[in-house]
Structure 1
Amino acid sequence: MNCIALPRRIALALCLALLLGLAALPVLAAGASPARQALETATNRILACIKNPDYVNPATRAPLRQQIEDEVLHIFDFREFSSRTVGARWRTFNPDQQKRFSDAFADLLISTYVGKIDGYNGEQVVYTGEVSSPAGDRTEVRSVITMKDGKKVPVAYRMLPKEGGWRVYDVLIENISLVKNYRTQFQDILNSGSPDQLIARVRAKAQEVRQ
């Protein structure tokens, strides 16, 4: 299923965005929003795993890699991600299909981007601001990643309050929405297939990436 993919440069920036986020920022500034606080806490924990001496040893890396995946699952709302990527057709999925798709989509993203974490090479991340909705129920945390070649890539995290905290429901790389990118691909599949067929293809792609 080659269609479920992102351009290579965007994929690299997204890998850094998902896994490193604001970890390279200085100490949390006074007055930072709860959304940014939640994001920075999660990404600092991820960075601590990467810097752990045991991470470079394949024999001791597995528990640390699992901690990284757990942090990603905690800070990202993959059910919200899933419903937004499927779009209006999400209502045609029954509850079991919604759960299976959410699980498969989370597995695909984690397999794709956590698998690239070893490619981190000192890229720098700088926080540039945040914008909240008038109702305060949505916040966009903005940052810029400076790649090794000097190119600056703007990255924005769209977050919402959930279960007493703040969770990411979309990531924008150079103003390209991860949700919209996948929505286009998933809609193409659903135009000629069923929800179960989409779930099967996402699962197969995730398994292919893991192998």
Structure 2
Amino acid sequence: MKPTFSSVAAAVLAVLTVPASFGAPPAAPPAAEATSPEAAEPAAGGCVEDPESARRAIETLFQRLGEAYAIDLPGPAGEALRKKRAQQVARAVVDVDGFAQGVLGEAWAEADDATRDRWRQSLRVLLEHRYIERLQDPRHHRLEVGRAALSCDRASVVATLIHVKDRSDKALAFRLIHRDTGWAAWDVSVDGVSLAATYRSRFARIYRDGGASELDRYLADTARRYGLDLGERPEGEAASP
């Protein structure tokens, strides 16, 4: 089956730590609310001196995503392999812990290690799905990376995603944090709508109304839904013949 525009977009986004070698997340997401609180910045690290390294990280992310989708294998097997490779690219550059700290806030701070581990795994799937969706298919788009603003170990990078056929475009903005292994993306905005701010509002409401157990259930259900779309199976579920 030939991969469609939407299926490919759903294949990549959620555990983003960009390695130094780079050059240095079903159902629609909840709508962003005008009163949504800004996602808190994740914990700080050491300062970075080269602002261009953040730009190169985003450029290399899109390049490697393009390589993942360039696999010339027809049919369902080819689509499954492209999704898997795209997911691996996203996993290498998405910062799950940074997203969790900035989005879950009080819930993350009060959670024990076992709960954090469960949430981390769920958020990984969500982010991989959403980042792939936002970056879309490099075979039909090109990414023009613009300026990077650097502040110690934090960076913001703006870019424009352009459809090569109809020339329509979307404004992207990445928020990065520098880890030991390089730049990691903990938030992405599309046309001004922040992934982190959108989910922070949703998670805060769930935690306020139902506590940690309800948040746990929501994250697990979301991960299962997105994981199935990425070709993953819930633990213990057999593969289809």
Q: TM-score, normalised by structure 2?
A: 0.66
1:157 partnered with 2:174: yes
Task: Rate the CA distance shift 1:117–1:152 in 2: closer, same or farther, 3 A.
Answer: closer
Q: CA RMSD in A?
A: 2.8
Structure with a larger share of its residues in helix: 1
Deviation of 1:111 after TM superposition, in Å, equals 3.8
For 2:218 and 2:141, locate their aligned partners in 1 and report how far apart those are by CA, in whole Å: 33
User: Which runs of structure 2 are paired with 1:129-144 in the superposition (5 Å)?
Assistant: 129-133=147-151, 136-144=152-160
Q: Which has the higher contact order (CA 8 A, sep 6+)?
A: 2
1:187 partnered with 2:211: no
User: Which runs of structure 2 are paired with 1:1-211 in the superposition (5 Å)?
Assistant: 5-6=29-30, 33-54=52-73, 56-111=74-129, 114=132, 122-133=140-151, 136-147=152-163, 150-209=167-226, 210=228
Deviation of 1:174 after TM superposition, in Å, equals 2.0
Q: TM-score, normalised by structure 1?
A: 0.74
For 1:151 and 1:60, locate their aligned partners in 2 and report how far apart those are by CA, in whole Å: 28
Deviation sequence 1:30-64 (CA, Å, 0-9, x none):
x862222223223211111111212x431244344
Contact 2:95 2:185 (C-alpha < 8 Å) held by counterparts: yes
Q: Number of aligned pairs?
A: 184
Using the TM superposition, name which of 113-122 and 197-206 deviates more: 113-122
Q: What are the ranges of 5 or more consecutive residues in structure 1 without an aligned counterpart?
A: 8-30
Q: What are the ranges of 5 or more consecutive residues in structure 2 without an aligned counterpart?
A: 1-25, 32-49, 230-241
Task: Rate the CA distance shift 1:197–1:52 in 2: closer, same or farther, 3 A.
Answer: same
Q: Which amino acid aligns with 2:156?
A: E
Deviation of 1:68 after TM superposition, in Å, equals 1.6
Q: Report sequence identity in percent.
A: 21
Q: Which amino acid aligns with 1:36?
A: R
